Amino acid sequence: MRRASVQWAIAVLLTLASAVWQRWSGPTYPAMGTALVGGQAIAFKLPRSNSIATRQLVRVAVADPAVAGAVEWRHYPTNETWRAVPMTRRGDALEAEIPPAPEPLMPMAGKLEYRVRLTSGAARATFPTPPAVTRFKGDVPAWVLVPHVAAMFFGMLFSARSAVAAILGGSTRLWGFLAVALLLVGGFVLGPIVQKLAFGAFWTGVPWGYDLTDNKTLIAGAAWILAAARMRGGRQARLAVVAATVVTLGVFAIPHSVWGSEAKW
């Protein structure tokens, strides 16, 4: 019992570390930092993902009424001239929406590049550097998004659990086959549905594109299918299981949504 608890603890820690890293390192994680304007330190947290049903709200908490601001934006990736939208004060914050009305709402996978410019008298600050890039997506209902996320998370968890058993002693087969099943369902059944609803395409990896999210799912799936083949006939296939887990953790260390769907302007 003690050995099993230790193995589960290691597997859970590996999976949580991978999930947190994907979240923090991904291109949709907010751009955060602190800007100095006239001696004032102003913390900012700028979104990098938004629904196609709304305009992107850019909000910076600035209590000092002497500070004014604007959001400079353009379509991404382009060399368009930056366009400025004045920010409006709402209580202790400055706000603006991009693209501003009467510009049309953004399409699926459309991206905007933007930065905030604050001024206080002669003092000025422009941030972030480089500018933030926000991507617009269709709204994905919970009935498909929650099972997709759960299948991928537990697929990684059982993958790690199988590898820990292979290294420290124990059966790899149950956790290995569960990992295969969940990764296949989450990555190749539910994943394309989520992709279609969010960005208008079921699959944008090889051979039709270079979306790293799709391609890393393909690599992890292939590694586990090979491991499952090695586990046939009652074999533990410890080396194959460890190798598949290393591949899975390695490819999922690549930030989520890198080289993802992107509208062409």
* Model confidence, pTM: 0.87
The answer to whether the CB of 179 falls within 8 A of the CB of 162 is yes
- The model's pLDDT over 32-45, given as tens digits with 9 standing for 90+, comes to 999 999 889 999 99
Tell me the pLDDT band of 258, cut-offs 50, 70 and 90. Answer: low
Query: Residue 72 class from Cβ within 10 Å (0-12 exposed, 13-18 middle, 19+ buried)?
Result: middle
* 38-137 maps to CATH 2.60.40.10: yes
- Residue 256 CA, chain-centre distance (Å), reads 4
Contact 237, 231 (CB under 8 A): yes
How confident is the prediction for the chain on average, in pLDDT?
A: 92
Burial class (CB in 10 A: 0-12, 13-18, 19+), 263: middle
Is the pLDDT assigned to residue 209 strictly greater than 80?
no
86-100 per-residue burial string, b: 16 or more CB within 10 A, e: under 16: ebeeeeeebebbbbe
Cα dist from 98 to 44, 49, 112, 201, 262, whole Å: 17, 12, 8, 25, 18
Contact 72, 155 (CB under 8 A): no
The CATH 2.60.40.10 domain(s) of the chain lie at 38-137
Q: Which residues of 144-167 are buried (b: 16+ CB within 10 A; e: fewer)?
A: bbebbeebbbbbbbbbbbbbbbbe
Sign of CA dihedral 18, 23, 24, 28: positive
Say whether pLDDT at 1 is over 60: no
The residues, ordered by sequence, that sit 6+ positions from 142 with a Cβ below 8 Å of its Cβ are none
Look at phi and psi of residue 91 and say left if phi exceeds 0, alpha if psi is from -120 to 50, else beta: left
With a cut of 90, say whether residue 180 has pLDDT above it. yes
pLDDT at 51 over 80: yes
Per residue in 222-244, pLDDT (tens digit) is: 999 999 999 998 999 999 999 99
